Structures are given as structure tokens and as C-alpha cells.
Amino acid sequence: MNAVEVRDLAFAYSDGTPALRGVSFAVAEGECVGIVGPNGAGKSTLLLHLNGVLPEAPDGSGAVHVFGAPITKENLYEVRRTVGLLFQDPDDQLLCPTVGEDVAFGPRQLGLGGPELGARVAAALARVGLAGFEARSAHHLSRGEKRRVCLAGLLACESRVLVLDEPTSELDPRGRRELKSLLASIPATKLIATHDLEMVVELCSRVVVLDRGQVVAAGETVALLGDEALMLAHGLERPHVLRHRHPHD
Amino acid sequence: MHIPDGFLSLQTAAAAAAVSAVTVGVCVRRLRRTLQPRQVPLLGLTATFVFVAQMLNFPVAGGTSGHLLGATLVAVLLGPAAAVLVITTVLVVQCLVFADGGLLALGANVLNMAVIGGLAGGGLHLLVRRFGSGLRGTVTAAAFASWCSVVLAATACAIQLALSGAAPARLVLPAMAGVHAVIGLGEAVITALVLVSIGTTRPELVGGVETPTSRRPALAPRGLLVVLALVALAVPFGSSLPDGLQWVVGQLGLEHRAVVTAGAPLADYLVPGLDSSLLATALAGLAGAGLMLGVSCLLGRLLVPGKRARAEG
Amino acid sequence: MRHGFLDRHSRLQSPIHALPAWSKALATLAVVVSMAVASPSWWPVLVVAAVLLAAVTWQSRIPAGFLLRRLLLVEPVVVIVATLALWQPGGRTLFAMLVARSTLSLAALILFVNTTRFSEVLDLLRRCRVPSLLLTVLALMYRCVFVLVDEAERLQRARVSRSFSPSAARSWRWVAFQAGQLFVRSSERAERIYAAMCARGWRP
């Protein structure tokens, strides 16, 4: 079964600017798919649709299916628990004064409490390498640590699908390396929107190229990202790791 | 205007806290009814904004500087009930995170700056707003309302200090009102400038979060009435409260025993309510408000170009 | 910047920090209330409070210099307001009393906020039945203050790097513009935070 399936998704902002124009693709369970494209291609807007943050009221169009079921008003919270969203700016996502409370935010919305909640928070923090950070203040963390706390918040909800918006932006090389190995170790289905094409090559088996709200190409990572003409046409660049693999080099 | 601890008597602090608690409660209930869920984070961020904006310094002569207070600005941007909640939040964080403003005095500070500042500022803004249109009308009304809200808040603060016996009313009232008439002028200019800055880049942000149903204008005039009534009534009402400190001071300062007696400690200057200096202060306040209305119109004309000027530019 | 960001002390380790928040809140309230009702003839109460506060300061490992600096920051306001008392009967005694009471109350509050984390304070407020809307707004504000201060600093630096001739009128316009932009950015961040709250299963 497909974990996520998008069929002919269209969306325009309230001022009439079209953001997505008939986007379709599917992601199988356990797969890791990269979503790449230039700035303003509609990547973030697309991701917000995957767990029903957009459109504001589920319109029942059935454009987005999660594990076979379209997102409706009734299963909205169920979908949000299944699909975890990692936002681009961790400062937007960290809501609570302390790390522990923040990781507990999601599970608490699911009705969890008491020692079970504490154990889940501790396990999620240990998973991202921040064991014992519960009482720390969110604003005293480094950028990379903040992002890992956000990730722990998703893991604590036991989301089956992780949707990540620019997870490696603004991280130093070590932070990037650590985050990449962390992501590789998580078995959930993953969709990663990013400009970090090296990471896409390392983590994703398939890639969807988005430009001006449309899917312009989709397919196997190495073949697609190695296509110099395609990359240049859509404001991207063939990643260095692929240079020596390309037939013409 | 943050009153530190140690100046207010227990009775005054408790009475102010009670009034604040009830008003904030009413505002919360109202917001729960009218606020859309997506606007909850906006309240938090606006509170943060006010806190940070208060740190921005506006240079005044001689190396000193002033800063924004913000109650009226928030009332104009989000509506009066939201302003009360937002400024209350700012005061609570200032008190409980940065020890700025007293703990026992928190109720009084909320009453002066959040309740009076927000409701009077918001109410007067909506009242004056009817006489102008567009951004210029908003800016003019906001400038006038912010001056009034600062002066009213300072007056309330002075009344509380006088009721607590920390300072004589005939001195503290004109002093606080006078100083804050000047501070209020700065607040009016800053509020107007900030509104122009927001209104020209994102006009849709100026206007209030409460859903524009029939209920919306109801709170502001009522709130304004309540505030004015509170300020007017506080003088004679408070004077009948026995005041421990004042009484003891009277006991100690033996030569003044005849003046300050238990039971009606402030009888000397407050029960008539309007002795000559207080009457003069009140009249000066009214004259100031009239003058300020003119200044506000001028500010509005100066800062927001009219339709013709915009067409030419 | 008007406030030093002082919550670093609330993360120290000490016997005082380890006490439950409610006990510290009650103690602070007790000091503040007893200061409010203390009369000049009760001066021993003030001495006792001063000694107690000094002992707490020592136990809490908060640097005494820090406490004094914080007190001195507020003291001018205290003295100015207290000066008004000189014009009434028993003025000099009252003046001394007001300054002493105010200083001791302030010291108690400074000790409280520097030995208690804000998340504990929020918990305490929740137990005192403070409306949940107010609590949500408080938590969000506390969380975002640090983010927005950074944003204000970035705006400030951008302004400084581009301004060549400071005139008072122009700088008022600039600072107000900066404040306006700060609000615009805050409201945009509020939109993103709302999206994040929804994505994480928040139910209004």
C-alpha cells in the first residue's frame, strides 16, 4: 500500500497566487523520497498538505491519501498523528519553554500522560542523542540541537511517515552529518524537501522534481540528479558525488 | 510606570488585583468566544513583540531616551479585549521572569497598564476613529487614544499611591499626570509612526482579530465607561478604606495626630474629592486632551499623505 | 537592552533551586505582604527579613554582586516615588520605610525569579486556575522572546550598517519602522507557529 498518495493536487493562496498546479505522485511504505526544486517551487506548500494543515478546512477533494484513505474532517487528527511534519525553522516548531514539555506536546494531544508519557519522551530524546535534556530551555540549544528536539517530538508521536522541510539547512557540516545518519537510522517512510542534493543522493531512492507548482520529473535518484540539463533547467545543480558516476565524465 | 512592591498598602493592592482579575477574566471569556484558533499564536507573538519593542530606544534630548508602552497600539492592531490579555501577559512575564514591577503590585500594574491602558486606548480609538477614514483616521485616533490612555493609567497609578498613603494626593496626582502628559506625547508619536509603518507595508494587519460581527464594537465603549467610572469612583471609595500604614504614621507623627486619625485617614485631602489643586489638575487634563486632539489631527495629516498627494507622488 | 537576560541563574544547582516552586512562591509572597503591612515601629521585622534574604542569597549561590546590581537598577525609581512622601506628616520616617520595604520586597522577588524556572512558575499558575488561554499566551511569549530579540538585533544591525547621518527626527522614523517590521515579522511567525501547532495535533 502507498503510505502517501497525491492525486492532481491544486492550491492557490487567498490572494489568488497559484502555488500548486496538479501535483501527483505516490510514496510506498518504507520508502525515502526526495522533493527538490528551486525556491518558490511550492515544496513547503506541498508538505503542508500532507498532514492537512493546508487547505484550512479539508475540502473532501481527496487529493491527498494517507495509507489509502483521503484526508477528511473526521480523520484529520488521525492523519496528523500518522504523518509527522518537521518545519524548516525549528523556532516555529518548538512551542514549549522546556525540551521535555515540547517533546511531550504531541503525545499529550493524543491523550497520553503519566509515566508512560515520561518514558516515551525519554526514549525519543535518547534516540536523537539528547538523553537527559528534558529540563533544558529550548532557547539555550544550538540550531542542530533544536532540530533534533523537533525530530524527537515527531518520534514521540510514533509517526509512520516523516515529512521533513529543509532538515539540513543552516547546519554546520558536523550537524549535517549527524542529522543524516540519524535520519538514515529511522525506519519510517520519509519525504525530504531540500536543496541539499548530496543528502538526497545518500538517503533517497527516488526523487520528485517540482517547479512552479508542477511535477516536472520523477524517478530514480541517480538517474534524475545526474541529468545535467534537467537540473540546470530547474535551478538545480548536479551534485558533486554524482560527477564521477555520470556517463559523460 | 511599573509600581514596585512596598508602596501599595495591602488593601489597595488587593482591591486592584480583584478588579484586574475580574476584567481579565471577562476579556478571556470574550476572546474564547470570538477568537479564531489561528489567532491564538498571534496573541503570544504580539505580547513578545510589545516586550521587545519596549527595548527599542527613541532618542530624546540630552542622552535620555523613551520607549513604546504599547497598550493602545495593541488595542488598535488586535482589539481592546486582546490588548488587555496581551499587556497582562507582558506584565506577568516582566514580573515573574525579570522581577520588573512588584509581585503584590502586579494587580495594580495590570489594572493601570493593561486594563485601563487597553480598554481606554481601544475605546477612545474606536470613538475618534469615526471622524476620519482610512489609515489617516486610524493614525489620528490612535495618537489621541494613546495619549489619553497613558495619562489615565498614570492618574490611576497616582490614585493608588495616594490611597496607600505613600504620597499625598494633591502632590502625586498633578506630578504623575503632568509627567505622563509629556510621556504620552512621545507615546502618541511613536504609536502613530509604528502604525504608519505597519499600515503601509501590510494594511490588512491593522484592524483587530475579533471577528467583525455585531458583537465587536460593544466591548470598547462599555470598557471605556467602566474605566472612566473606576478612575472617578476610586477617589471617594478608596478614602473610606482604613489604611494601616497611614494610621501608624499618624500615631507616630504626634503633632499631626489631629489631622490623620484612624477611620478616615485621608479625610484631609480626599473626601471632598475635588479640592482646588485636584480640580485644577482635572481641568488641565481636559484642556490637555483638547489640545492633544488637535496635535493628533496634525500628526495624521503629516504622517499619512492624503489621496491627492498620493496621486501626485 | 533594558533587561539583561537573567534566567541563567534560574538554572543553577542549589538547595534553594531544588525547593518546590510553590514553597518559594509562598515565601516570597509572605515577605512581600509582611513588608506591605510593616509599620515603622515594626523595624525588627525588616531586620529579620533582611537577614533571611541574605541567608537565602548565600545558600542559592546567586552572586551577591548580581543581586546588588539588579537592586540598584530599580532603586532610582523607588527613591523618586518615595520622595513624594516627604511632603506629608511623618514624611522622613515614611520615606525611609518606603525605601526599605520596597528594597527588601524587590530582593525577595529577584531571588524568587532567579531560583525558579519559568516552566515551574507556569505549572504553579496552572494549579492556581489561571485561564488556559492566558497560560498558552504566556508560554508562547516566554518561548518567543529570545527568538524575537535576535530578530530585533538583526534589524538593528541592518539599520546601523546602512545609516550614515543620524538626525533625531529621522532616527525616530527608523526605530518606528523597525518596530513596525518587527510586528509584521511577528505576525508572520505566528502564522507559521499556528501551522506547526496544528501539524503536531493541537486541538483548539
Asked if the bond preceding A55 is cis, omega within 30° of 0, the reply is yes
Residue B119 domain boundaries: 10-209+217-312
* pLDDT given for residue B226 in this prediction: 67
Cβ-in-10-Å burial (0-12, 13-18, 19+) of B115 comes to: buried
Each domain of chain C, given as residue ranges in start order, spans: 7-123, 131-199
What share of chain A has pLDDT > 90, as a percent?
59
Interface contact flag, B97 C7, Cβ < 8 Å: yes
B62-102 per-position pLDDT tens digit: 667 778 889 999 999 998 999 999 999 999 999 998 888 88
Q: By the CB < 8 Å criterion, does C12 face chain A?
A: no
Q: Specify the CATH number for the domain of residue B16.
A: 1.10.1760.20
Q: By the CB < 8 Å criterion, does B26 face chain C?
A: no
Which residues of C fall within a CB distance of 8 Å from B165?
A: 94
* Matching residue, cell 503519566: A114
As a whole number, mean pLDDT of residues C49-54 equals: 92
Least confident of B65-69, B273-277, C2-6: C2-6
* pLDDT given for residue A239 in this prediction: 87
Angle at A136 between CA A134 and CA A141, to 5 degrees: 120
Which residues of A fall within a CB distance of 8 Å from C192?
A: 87, 89, 92
Using CA atoms in the order B72, B76, B80, B83, what is the torsion angle rounded to 10 degrees?
A: -60
**What is the three-class DSSP state of B206?**
coil
Q: Distance (Å, rounded) from C-alpha C168 to C-alpha C161?
A: 17
Instruction: Name the most confidently modeled range: B44-48, C7-11, C59-63.
Output: B44-48
C141-153 per-position pLDDT tens digit: 988 888 888 888 8
Q: By the CB < 8 Å criterion, does B189 face chain C?
A: yes
As a whole number, mean pLDDT of residues A191-198 equals: 94
* pLDDT given for residue C143 in this prediction: 85
Q: By the CB < 8 Å criterion, does C77 face chain B?
A: yes
Position B5 in a domain: no
Q: Is the pTM of this model over 0.80?
A: yes
Report chain B's mean pLDDT, rounded to a whole number: 78
Question: Which chain B residue shows the shortest CA-CA distance from C140?
Answer: B44
Position B4 in a domain: no
Residues 44-63 of chain C with CB under 8 A from chain B are none
> How large is the angle between the packed helices B10-34 and C21-37, nearest 10 degrees?
130
Which residues of C fall within a CB distance of 8 Å from B84?
A: none
Of C118, C77, C119, C57, the residue nearest B101 (C-alpha): C77
* pLDDT given for residue B241 in this prediction: 38
Which residues of C fall within a CB distance of 8 Å from A84?
A: 199
* pLDDT given for residue A220 in this prediction: 93
As a whole number, mean pLDDT of residues C110-131 equals: 90
Q: By the CB < 8 Å criterion, does B42 face chain C?
A: yes
Query: Measured between CA atoms, how close is A51 to chain C, in angstroms?
Result: 7
Confidence of residue B240 (pLDDT cuts 50, 70, 90): very low
Q: Is the pLDDT of residue B173 over 70?
A: yes
Position B94 in a domain: yes
Q: Distance (Å, rounded) from C-alpha C171 to C-alpha C169?
A: 5
Confidence of residue B249 (pLDDT cuts 50, 70, 90): very low
Q: Is the pLDDT of residue B263 over 60?
A: no
As a whole number, mean pLDDT of residues B273-288 equals: 68
Confidence of residue B224 (pLDDT cuts 50, 70, 90): low
Report chain A's mean pLDDT, rounded to a whole number: 89
Q: By the CB < 8 Å criterion, does C189 face chain B?
A: yes
Q: Distance (Å, rounded) from C-alpha A85 to C-alpha B278?
A: 62
What share of chain A has pLDDT > 70, as a percent?
96
* pLDDT given for residue B16 in this prediction: 94
Interface contact flag, B248 C105, Cβ < 8 Å: no
H and E: helices and strands count for chain A: 11, 10
Cβ-in-10-Å burial (0-12, 13-18, 19+) of B313 comes to: exposed
Question: Which chain C residue shows the shortest CA-CA distance from B167?
Answer: C85
A199-232 per-position pLDDT tens digit: 999 999 999 999 999 999 999 999 999 898 999 9
* pLDDT given for residue C203 in this prediction: 74
Q: Distance (Å, rounded) from C-alpha A92 to C-alpha A166?
A: 14
A139-167 per-position pLDDT tens digit: 888 888 999 999 999 999 989 999 999 99
Confidence of residue A111 (pLDDT cuts 50, 70, 90): confident
* pLDDT given for residue B222 in this prediction: 67
Chains with at least 3 CB pairs less than 8 angstroms from chain C = A, B
* pLDDT given for residue C145 in this prediction: 87
Angle at C140 between CA C136 and CA C145, to 5 degrees: 150
Q: Is the pLDDT of residue B264 over 50?
A: no
Cα A11 from chain centroid?
Answer: 19
**Each residue of B198-224: b (16+ CB within 10 Å) or e?**
bbeeeeebbebbbeeeeebbebbbebb
* pLDDT given for residue C167 in this prediction: 66
Confidence of residue B221 (pLDDT cuts 50, 70, 90): low
**Cβ atoms B74, C183 nearer than 8 A:** no
**What is the three-class DSSP state of B207?**
coil
What share of chain B has pLDDT > 70, as a percent?
73
* pLDDT given for residue C17 in this prediction: 87
Q: Is the pLDDT of residue B312 over 60?
A: no
* pLDDT given for residue B20 in this prediction: 95
Which residues of C fall within a CB distance of 8 Å from A170?
A: none
A11-32 per-position pLDDT tens digit: 988 778 889 999 999 999 999 9
* pLDDT given for residue A65 in this prediction: 92
As a whole number, mean pLDDT of residues B7-19 equals: 92
Q: Distance (Å, rounded) from C-alpha A245 to C-alpha A135?
A: 48
